[in-house]
Structures are given as structure tokens and as C-alpha cells.
Structure 1
Amino acid sequence: MSTTKWVLDPTHSELGFKIRHLMISNVSGSFQQFQVDVETQDDDFSTAQIRATAEIASIHTNNEQRDHHLRNSDFFEAETYPQLSFQSTRVEKLSDDTFTVYGDLTMKGVSKPVKLSVEYSGVTKDPWGGVRAGYTINGKINRSDWGITFNGVLETGGVALGEEVKLTSEIQLVKQLDTVVA
């Protein structure tokens, strides 16, 4: 049995989120700088150990003023907590191309368990002889569980921001090397 290492192809990957705004639409955002490293036994994703990090300062929502606000103490406190991280604890194979990944998400110094739905798109050889794997990842978290509670009350009685944050990612990994385990 061998350990296979996979690293992120950042030019073909995205780490995004959506949150309800004014209770009538969603605002989308992403982290422009992030890293994902995966180790599997052979090429078996059900054995994956996954570690991901994102640079809070790289948050991007197509509005620089909003991005600056998200980096300050009302939301992520980027100067104090410059990264968010995810560490898998187990992977559950549901079918050949669907998995549930359980792990701990750490933001603002708070770690909480999360569950992510993963759709495996397959493995292919690229034109340069490399091996790549693709995944679509979705999940939901309640932002207040990590101390992100800033909000505003609307004249109509609602709130400016929803509590639920939808996580959406497209991840392409590149196979690195096999290491024989004795």
C-alpha cells in the first residue's frame, strides 16, 4: 500500500460562499488565496486526510468596501486571525462518486465540526502527463457558531444578513508522488 499526495491546482479551483442579503437575494464571495493538501492510500479518496487553509485578507465579493468591512472586527478580524482552516476527521463513501467529509473548521480561533457533501468528478491525465482529480464540494454553516454575529435590523423587521452561509467549492488536485509504506 502506498500514500498518495495531492496538491491544489489554484488556477482551476475556487473556494466560495453565499449568504442571504436583505432576506431577498444571495451575495457571493470567494477566497482568492487558499491551499488544499490531500493524502490518500493509493488513489482511494475514502481514505483521504484533507487539510485546507484560506487567507482571510484574500476575501473577494466584487465590492472593495464590503471586502474591507469583512476583514475588520465586525466579521473575520483578519489582522488577529489571518487564516481559516479545515482538517478532515473522516470520509464516508456514499457511492462511487459521492462522499461526505467530516472535519473541523477553524475561524476566528474557534473550531467546530462541519459536514461537507462531495461529488467526485473523476481522475484524468492532463496533456503534460500529470494525473488530476476533480471535486465539487458543498456545505452549510451557521456563522454565529464562529462568533461572526454582525447584523442590522431592517425597517421591515428582517435582518440584513442571514445566519446560514452556503459553502461552494470546485477543487482540482494534482497527484504528486507515491510513497511505499513498510
Structure 2
Amino acid sequence: MKNTNWTLDTVHSEISFKVKHMMISTVTGHFEDFQATAKTEGDDFKNADFNFSAKTESINTKNKDRDAHLRSDDFFNTEQFPEMTFVSKSFDGDKLVGDLTIRDVTKEITLDADFNGVAVDPYGQTKAGIEAKGEINRKDFNLTWGAVTEAGSVVVSDKVRLVIDLQFTKEA
């Protein structure tokens, strides 16, 4: 069977994360500059190959000071490590397994995934939608900055929840 290539529709896609702040609230952020591709053997996406990259400089948490701190060596060190990447190993429609690289660390992660199907838009383009969620420990990827409040609360949780919503366009 012939491979089908899919490109990311960035207007209808988002890569975001959620992390506890002082263990009492949740901060949400996302990456504004990212790309992804998929390669399938049909329109069902079973065993699809996914490649993803995001420019770490494009992080946005709606707070300029926090974003500058996240770009520093305390976290992403965007000068030395300008991209984070994900390369899939397997996708069965429910689980997406692959290698996530942040900074100089690559680790296998498993995301819960929902393949939402394929549809043709009003312009005749074939689209496919996928949602994935999971959790990583930021310290596993050398994002090790830490501070504690006077009351003993952790300022930034080690656990980071990933929320990924992707829409792909089938290449002609």
C-alpha cells in the first residue's frame, strides 16, 4: 500500500502544557512555533509515523517575565537548545509512543491518544484530527530549576501535563 503524507494545519492545532504553581494553581502555556508531519498507509492512521518539533523560544505563558525565565538556562536554554522534538515509535489509535527530546535528553514517553477521524473540509481538503495527553517529569529532561516558598511549598511542580491537539491536511 502507498504511503500517505500529512502536513500540520497549524491554525487548527495547539501544543500546550499545564504545570502546578506553588501547588495551589495551574499555569498553562503553549508553543507558538511548531511543525508536525504524519505518514500513514491509509486514512485510519493505524501505525502512523509522527514527527514533531517546536521552537523553544516560542514558549508563551502570557507572562513576559516567566517566559524569559523559561527561555533561560534554568529551563529550556533556548540559545543552546532551540528545538524540542518528538519522533513516534508506535501509534495504535489509543496510545502514541515515541522519543521526546528536550535540551540534551531523549526519553521514550507514552501519550493517551484519540484519533478523531478524517473529514473533507468545505474546500475539498482531507483533514484528520488527533488529540493526545500525557505527563512528564520535567527534571527527567534537565529542566531542574527549583525553589520553595517560605511556607515550604514547591514553586513549580516536577509534573508537567501535555495537551496536544493536532489537525493534519492530506497531501495531494
TM-score class normalised by the smaller sequence: over 0.9
Structure 1 residue 104: deviation in Å? 0.3
Q: When the two structures are aligned, how many residues end up with a matched partner? A: 172
Within 2, Cα distance between the matches of 1:12 and 1:44? 20
Structure 1 residue 92: deviation in Å? 2.6
Within 2, Cα distance between the matches of 1:153 and 1:108? 24
Structure 1 residue 5: deviation in Å? 0.5
Within 1, Cα distance between the matches of 2:42 and 2:30? 31
Which whole-Å deviations, capped at 9, do the CAs of 1:98-144 have from their partners, x for residues lacking one?
Answer: x1011000010110010011112111101111100111110100000
Q: Name which of 148, 153, 157 aligns with 1:158.
A: 153
SS at match of 2:123: coil
Within 2, Cα distance between the matches of 1:10 and 1:45? 19
Map 1:56-75 to 2 at 5 A: 56-75=56-75
Q: Name which of 89, 104, 109 aligns with 2:104.
A: 109
2:82: which partner in 1?
82
More strand by share: 1
SS at match of 1:79: coil
SS at match of 2:70: helix
2:123: which partner in 1?
128
TM-score w.r.t. structure 2 length? 0.97
SS at match of 1:6: strand
Query: Which consecutive residues of structure 2, in runs of 5 or more, have no partner in the other structure?
Result: none
Q: Does 1:169 align with 2:164?
A: yes
Structure 1 residue 44: deviation in Å? 3.0
1:180: which partner in 2?
none
RMSD: 0.9
TM-score w.r.t. structure 1 length? 0.92
Q: Does 1:118 align with 2:113?
A: yes
Within 2, Cα distance between the matches of 1:85 and 1:104? 8
Query: Which consecutive residues of structure 1, in runs of 5 or more, have no partner in the other structure?
Result: 94-98, 178-182
Percent identity over the alignment is 40
Q: Does 1:145 align with 2:145?
A: no
Structure 1 residue 65: deviation in Å? 1.0
Within 2, Cα distance between the matches of 1:21 and 1:3? 44
Runs of 4+, deviation exceeding 6 Å: none
- One-letter amino acid matched to 1:15: I
